[in-house]
C-alpha cells in the first residue's frame, strides 16, 4: 500500500508538529512500513482513510498511535562499545570523584525508547562501581514521548531477541530472570531507573527534569532540523550541572549548533560539557572549546 504525495505531506507535518521530527521527501517508505499495521488494525483501506480520520476534529487515540509508531527508534543494550568504555574508564570515575562528598548521582537518558540504554547504565554501575550502585543515591531518569514505550520500559521485561542484542550472556544470567518467553530485569537494577513521559521539543516537559550530572541524547538529534536541534541543546544545557556531561550519538555533534558547550575527548568518544565549567582534564582526555 503506497502513500500519495498529498497524504505524505499531511502526515509529515503532523509528525513534525507533535514531535519535531523531520521526515524529508524520500522517506515515504517510513510512513508506509510503520503505519501499515495501524491501517490493518483500524480496518482502513488506504492512507487517505487515515488522513481523513486525523483531520480536525481528529481522534486523539488514533493520533497518538501514529506519533507512537513514527517516533519509536531502534535501540539495544550497550549500543556501540566505545561510549560505554569511556563511561567505565573515564567519565564515571571522574564524576564519582567529584560527587563523593554528597554520594549522589542523577543521570538523564532522553528518548529512552524501550529502556535498554538506562538499564545498561544501571548494570554498568553495578558491575564496575558496586559501592555507588548499592550505597549512593543513584537516580537514572528515562524519558520518551511514547506512552507505550514508557509502559514497556517501566516493566523491565524484554524478549529473547531484545536480550540477544548487545547484552553479554553473563550479564543476562546475573541481572535477569526468565519468565516464560521473556526476561525480567532484577529489582536491584529496575529500582534505579525512573521512566516517565517527556518530549525534548517541549520546554515545559524538559523543565520538569531536575538538575542532572549527565545526559544521554544519543542518536536523536539526527531526526531534527537545525533550529530544533539548537533548541534541544539549549534546553538540555539548562538541566545540566556545570561539571556534568552530555553524550550524543557517534554521528552527532554540538559543533556549529550551540556555543555553550565544550568538547572533551575520551579516547574514541567525545562528550560535551557546559563551556563555563572549570573541569579537570585527565591525562587521557583532550579538551577542545567549540
Tell me what the mean pLDDT of segment 112-131 comes to.
98
pLDDT digits (tens, 9 = 90+) for 101-118: 999 999 999 999 999 999
Architecture of domain 81-289: 3-Layer(aba) Sandwich (3.40)
Contact assessment for residue 52 and residue 11, using Cβ atoms and an 8 Å cutoff:
no
Q: What is the pLDDT at residue 276?
A: 66
**C-alpha cell recorded at residue 164:** 540477544
d(CA 149, CA 13): 23
The CATH label, of 3.40.640.10, 1.10.155.10, 3.60.15.10, 3.40.30.160, for the domain at 5-71 is 1.10.155.10
SS3 64: helix
Q: What is the pLDDT at residue 290?
A: 35
**Cis peptide leading into residue 57 (ω within 30°):** yes
pLDDT digits (tens, 9 = 90+) for 157-193: 999 999 999 999 999 999 999 999 999 999 999 999 9
For residue 279, name the pLDDT band (cuts at 50, 70, 90).
Answer: very low
C-alpha distances in Å from residue 66, one per residue of 63, 149, 226, 261: 5, 14, 24, 35
pLDDT at 1 over 90: no
Domains 5-71 and 81-289 agree in fold: no
pTM (2 d.p.): 0.84
Helix residue ranges per DSSP H, 138-277 = 147-155, 160-164, 169-175, 187-190, 203-206, 226-239
pLDDT at 283 over 50: no
Domain ranges of the chain: 5-71, 81-289
* φ, ψ of residue 223 in degrees (nearest 5): -90, -5
Beta strand residue intervals within 145-181, DSSP E? 157-159, 176-179
Amino acid at each position: 500500500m503506497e502513500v500519495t504525495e498529498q497524504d505524505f505531506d499531511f502526515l509529515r507535518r503532523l509528525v513534525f508538529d507533535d514531535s519535531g521530527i523531520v521526515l524529508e521527501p524520500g522517506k515515504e517508505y517510513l510512513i508506509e512500513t510503520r503505519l501499515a499495521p495501524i491501517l490493518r488494525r483500524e480496518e482502513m483501506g488506504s492512507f487517505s482513510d487515515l488522513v481523513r480520520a486525523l483531520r480536525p476534529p481528529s481522534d486523539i487515540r488514533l493520533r497518538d498511535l501514529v506519533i507512537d509508531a513514527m517516533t519509536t527508534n531502534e535501540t539495544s543494550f550497550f549500543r556501540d562499545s566505545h561510549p560505554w568504555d569511556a563511561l567505565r574508564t573515564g567519565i564515571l570515575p571522574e564524576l564519582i570523584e567529584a560527587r563523593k562528598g554528597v554520594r549522589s548521582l542523577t543521570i538523564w537518558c532522553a528518548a529512552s525508547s524501550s529502556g535498554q540504554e538506562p538499564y545498561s547504565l544501571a548494570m554498568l554501575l553495578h558491575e564496575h562501581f558496586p559501592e555507588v550502585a548499592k550505597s549512593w543515591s543513584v537516580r537514572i531518569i528515562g524519558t520518551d514521548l511514547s506512552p507505550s514505550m514508557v509502559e514497556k520500559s517501566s516493566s523491565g521485561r524484554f524478549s529473547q531477541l531484545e536480550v540477544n542484542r548487545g547484552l553479554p550472556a553473563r550479564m543476562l544470567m546475573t541481572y535477569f530472570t526468565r519468565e516464560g518467553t521473556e526476561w525480567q530485569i532484577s529489582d536491584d537494577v529496575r529500582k534505579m531507573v525512573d521512566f516517565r513521559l517527556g518530549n525534548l521539543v517541549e520546554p515545559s516537559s524538559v523543565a520538569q527534569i531536575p538538575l542532572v550530572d549527565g545526559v544521554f541524547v544519543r542518536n536523536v538529534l539526527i531526526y531534527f532540523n537545525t533550529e530544533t536541534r539548537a533548541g534541544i541543546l539549549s534546553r538540555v544545557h539548562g538541566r545540566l550541572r556545570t561539571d556534568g556531561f552530555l553524550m550524543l550519538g557517534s554521528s552527532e555533534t554540538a559543533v556549529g549548533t550551540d556555543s555553550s558547550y565544550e568538547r572533551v575527548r575520551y579516547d574514541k568518544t567525545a562528550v560535551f560539557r557546559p563551556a563555563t565549567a572549570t573541569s579537570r582534564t585527565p591525562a587521557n582526555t583532550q579538551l577542545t572549546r567549540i
